[in-house]
């Protein structure tokens, strides 16, 4: 699992930071899941190592423009590029209405299936390898955070030991690799767990933006390997954060600390902290690290490989 930040500014782009978008690359199956799609995201993709042909799912947190204004353009370009595979999009109920209006008034026709799934707290998606859950955050409009869980995998299968036990290769190996028990023709019962190493614990990535500090963010982030959390304001501007229902650097760190995450990566920074404006982003990083030392600050095109446990 590799995280690539495509936009790390809040509200409006700056010279060095585009508005919100994060790509999660599932390296084992060559698939990309996109989280938010602010204006200019497709240009950011062109400047990154992420291929639009690998995008399979897009998750939108809420309907503010800096999170959705790039979505229609990206979908249209993917269609013109001849992308044949379907795209599943997850977002607030009004997202479907928005996309339908865009296609109607721009007379855009997608040449591939696009399906929009409406948000609901709890389990959102599951396949044989991954689970995605979401929960309501606290913002000025309905907003949701996402939790992507990689399912635990069986440990390394000891082929040599299986051969020594006289187990014939084939379908039985598959069952044993999954930890199941099999009965051989001679009556012996072989337990798969005895032929496998320790299970590989699945990784967990959480994406929380936009929101002020809230308990749902802590619950959603519980025991995550990586928490990507907005930090729009410095602690000195906490009053603004409460007024606009955004987080400060210290709020993001408090979520990480309360949830027991392994790594916090802050994003969604206000342009007011650009170089030369008095308070800069290094202060936000210091504030967060005073509460949660294992904190990093995202920048556009930063890639982070989620470590295995």
Which are the catalytic amino acids? Answer: 66
Which helix (H) or strand (E) segment holds residue 220: the answer is helix 215-221
Number of Cβ within a 10 Å radius of residue 108: 15
Coil, helix or strand at residue 74: helix
Q: Report d(CA 71, CA 41) in Å as an integer.
A: 8
| Spatial contact of 179 and 154, defined as CB atoms under 8 Å apart | yes
Helix-helix angle 281-291:249-259, to 10 degrees: 30
Q: Report d(CA 286, CA 266) in Å as an integer.
A: 12
In three state form, how does the secondary structure of 114-170 look?
Answer: EEEEECCCEEEEECCCEEEEEEECCCCCCCEEEEEEECCECCCECHHHHHHCCCCCC
The DSSP secondary-structure symbol of 212 reads -
Q: What is the DSSP string of 243-255?
A: HHT--BHHHHHHH
């Amino acid at each position: 699992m590799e995280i690539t930040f495509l936009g790390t500014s809040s509200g409006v782009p700056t010279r060095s930071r585009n508005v919100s978008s994060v790509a999660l690359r599932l390296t084992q199956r060559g698939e990309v899941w996109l989280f938010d799609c602010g204006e200019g995201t497709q240009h950011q993709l062109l400047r990154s190592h992420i291929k639009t042909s690998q995008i399979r799912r897009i998750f939108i947190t809420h309907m503010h423009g800096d999170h959705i204004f790039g979505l229609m353009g990206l979908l249209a370009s993917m269609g013109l590029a001849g992308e044949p595979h379907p795209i599943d999009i997850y977002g607030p109920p009004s997202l479907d209405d928005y996309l339908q209006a865009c296609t109607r008034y721009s007379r855009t026709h997608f040449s591939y299936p696009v399906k929009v799934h409406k948000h609901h707290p709890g389990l959102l998606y599951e396949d044989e390898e991954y689970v995605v859950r979401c929960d309501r955050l606290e913002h000025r409009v309905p907003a949701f955070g996402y939790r992507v869980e990689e399912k635990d995998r069986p440990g390394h299968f000891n082929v040599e030991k299986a051969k020594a036990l006289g187990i014939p290769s084939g379908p039985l190996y598959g069952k044993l690799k999954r930890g199941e028990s099999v009965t051989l023709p001679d009556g012996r019962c072989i337990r798969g767990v005895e032929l496998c190493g320790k299970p590989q614990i699945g990784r967990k990535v959480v994406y929380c933006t936009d929101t002020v500090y809230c308990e749902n963010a802590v619950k959603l982030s519980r025991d995550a390997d990586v928490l990507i959390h907005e930090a729009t304001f410095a602690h000195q501007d906490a009053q603004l954060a409460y007024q606009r229902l955004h987080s400060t650097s210290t709020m993001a760190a408090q979520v990480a600390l309360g949830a027991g995450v392994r790594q916090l990566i802050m994003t969604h920074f206000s342009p007011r902290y650009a170089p030369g404006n008095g308070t800069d982003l290094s202060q936000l990083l210091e504030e967060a690290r005073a509460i949660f030392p294992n904190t990093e600050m995202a920048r556009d095109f930063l890639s982070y490989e989620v470590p295995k446990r």
